[in-house]
């Protein structure tokens, strides 16, 4: 069973039809929307400030979401896919974005709607990633625009797959 812990008077709020892996950790001021999946070894640590997660979000294995005390919050929109071993620290990820495996997105960065962050990239603090674009590298830089239909199709497919995967685990209860 996932570790769900209150801290400083804040308790996590978890939406409907959410899959929490057995060793996921959800702490403090965290709100998770509906139809999400939070995978193995993921930590959502809302101890020092707020974490807000929309609907149909998958946060894959080993990801850490955290913030700066009284300085940044983490916001993840709807229909977002966050790859394995990602670090999101006090950043805003807008609807339909995809964050590739092992990427880092730092405080006050904004990843625009439908944007893709390439695997292993580092999005520096304060970076504004354009909607519908691909950014990559260390530090992450603009690579190219992506057609909105292509971005939506990629993310819809991943989101649907992760809802299906979560169902496999729920069936095992």
Condensed to tens digits (0 to 9), the pLDDT of residues 92-101 reads: 999 999 999 9
Predicted local confidence at residue 171, as pLDDT: 64
Report the C-alpha gap between 152 and 147 in whole angstroms.
9
pLDDT tens track for 141-156: 999 999 888 888 888 8
Residue 170 main-chain phi, psi, to 5 deg? -65, -35
Instruction: Identify the CATH assignment for 3-170 out of 3.30.310.10, 3.60.15.10, 2.160.10.10, 2.40.37.10.
Output: 2.160.10.10
Question: What pTM value is reported for the model?
Answer: 0.95
Three-state secondary-structure class, residue 74: strand
Tokens read off for 18: 């959410």
- Note whether 12 and 33 are within 8 A (CB): no
């Amino acid at each position: 069973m996932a570790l769900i812990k209150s801290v400083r008077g804040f308790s996590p709020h978890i939406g409907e039809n959410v899959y929490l892996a057995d060793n996921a950790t959800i702490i403090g001021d965290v709100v998770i929307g509906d139809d999400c999946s939070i995978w193995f070894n993921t930590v959502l640590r809302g101890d020092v400030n707020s974490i807000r997660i929309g609907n149909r979000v998958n946060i894959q294995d080993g990801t850490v979401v955290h913030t700066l005390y009284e300085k940044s919050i983490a916001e993840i929109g709807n229909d977002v896919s966050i790859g394995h071993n990602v670090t999101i620290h006090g950043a805003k990820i807008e609807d339909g974005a995809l964050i590739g495996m092992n990427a880092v997105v730092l405080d006050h960065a904004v990843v625009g709607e439908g944007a893709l962050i390439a695997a292993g990239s580092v999005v520096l603090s304060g970076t504004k990633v354009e909607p519908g674009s691909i950014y990559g590298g260390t530090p992450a830089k603009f690579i190219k625009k992506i057609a909105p239909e292509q971005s939506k199709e990629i993310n819809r497919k991943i989101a649907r797959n992760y809802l299906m995967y979560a169902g496999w685990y729920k069936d095992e209860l």
